[in-house]
Structure 1
Amino acid sequence: MHDNLRTLSVTLAAEPKQMKGFTLTQWRIAQLTPGEQGDHVLGLQLTMTERAAYRFNLGSTSPRLFVRAGFTGQTPKPDAISASQDVAAGWLDGEQQVFETPMPVAIQVWIENYLARHGEAPVQGRKKKRKGAGRAQPTPSQEPPQ
């Protein structure tokens, strides 16, 4: 078994909501369970590049999992799951529906163990711009003759 992959099952539920005289269907995650017994079976895969995001998520008051479920405006069909809010933000930027759900304690422990085995991500400090960096500089051949 891979130390960076867990299989989770997601079950969605539709709830009718009244808004300004209209009835809309609002979807939510009704159940998240380990294994392959739910409506939608997804693989939660941890990656080295997302370690800082996992740490940030685990350090929050209520760690979350994020489920991508197709394009906005369509009936949701879960097709991916992540513990990284950065990945989830990328999905939202691509006009995907993203549901979030509390992260089970067993998954939190598993991610902690993953971080302990593979190390924390290096802290990315903001790079200072060099003076003049980003500005076009004339090359010697472009300088006017004297």
Structure 2
Amino acid sequence: MSDNTRPLSVTLTAEEKQVGKFRLRQWRIDSLTPGEEGPYTLWLQLSMTERAAYRFNLTSQAPRLFVRAGFTGEDPAPDAVSASQDVAASWMDGEQQVLETPMPMAIQMWIEGYLARHGEAPPEGRKKKRKGAGRAKEQPTKENPQ
């Protein structure tokens, strides 16, 4: 096993909800544990490009893991997991349903170790604009020399 991947076992459960006149089946993650024991085994793979997102997640009040579970409106079929909210957002932009769950402490510690070994992501400072960049500038003409 490499230092940037870990297997996670996922178990889902359905809940029936009443919304107005309609009954809906809503899926949620019943359990997510390190290892390969559950009905779905997903591999959490950490990426150097997502280090800032991992840090943001870890410093939140409740760190989360995000599971991609197939297309919206269909029964879930988990096929990927991420600790990055940015990755989860891109999945949702692609009409995928994303289930979230609290991040187990063992995974939080593993990600902390990953960040310690590989360094924090460099700060994304604001880019400086060149003087006058982005502004229309009147050009001198024969009739109106400046």
For residue 64 of structure 1, what is the amino acid of its counterpart?
Answer: R
Q: Which residue of 1 aligns with 2:122?
A: 122
Q: Which residue of 1 aligns with 2:3?
A: 3
d(CA) in 1 for partners of 2:136 and 2:95? 36
| Uncovered stretches (5+) of structure 2, i.e. residues with no partner | 142-146
Q: Which residue of 2 aligns with 1:44?
A: 44
With normalisation by structure 1, the TM-score equals: 0.89
Tell me by how many angstroms 1:134 deviates.
Answer: 5.5
d(CA) in 1 for partners of 2:13 and 2:60? 26
In the alignment, is residue 95 of structure 1 matched against residue 98 of structure 2?
no
| Uncovered stretches (5+) of structure 1, i.e. residues with no partner | 138-143
Tell me by how many angstroms 1:21 deviates.
Answer: 1.6
Q: Which residue of 1 aligns with 2:110?
A: 110
d(CA) in 2 for partners of 1:37 and 1:115? 27
SS of alignment partner, residue 16 of structure 2: strand
For residue 4 of structure 2, what is the amino acid of its counterpart?
Answer: N
Tell me by how many angstroms 1:133 deviates.
Answer: 3.9
Q: Deviations over 1:77-124 (max 9, x none)?
A: 100000000100111111110011000000000000000000000000
In the alignment, is residue 19 of structure 1 matched against residue 19 of structure 2?
yes
SS of alignment partner, residue 24 of structure 2: strand
SS of alignment partner, residue 91 of structure 2: helix
For residue 8 of structure 1, what is the amino acid of its counterpart?
Answer: L
SS of alignment partner, residue 106 of structure 2: helix
d(CA) in 2 for partners of 1:129 and 1:100? 39
Q: How many residues align?
A: 140
SS of alignment partner, residue 38 of structure 1: coil
**Percent identity at matched positions?**
75
With normalisation by structure 2, the TM-score equals: 0.89
4+ residue segments displaced more than 3 Å? 131-137
Q: Which residue of 2 aligns with 1:83?
A: 83
SS of alignment partner, residue 10 of structure 1: strand
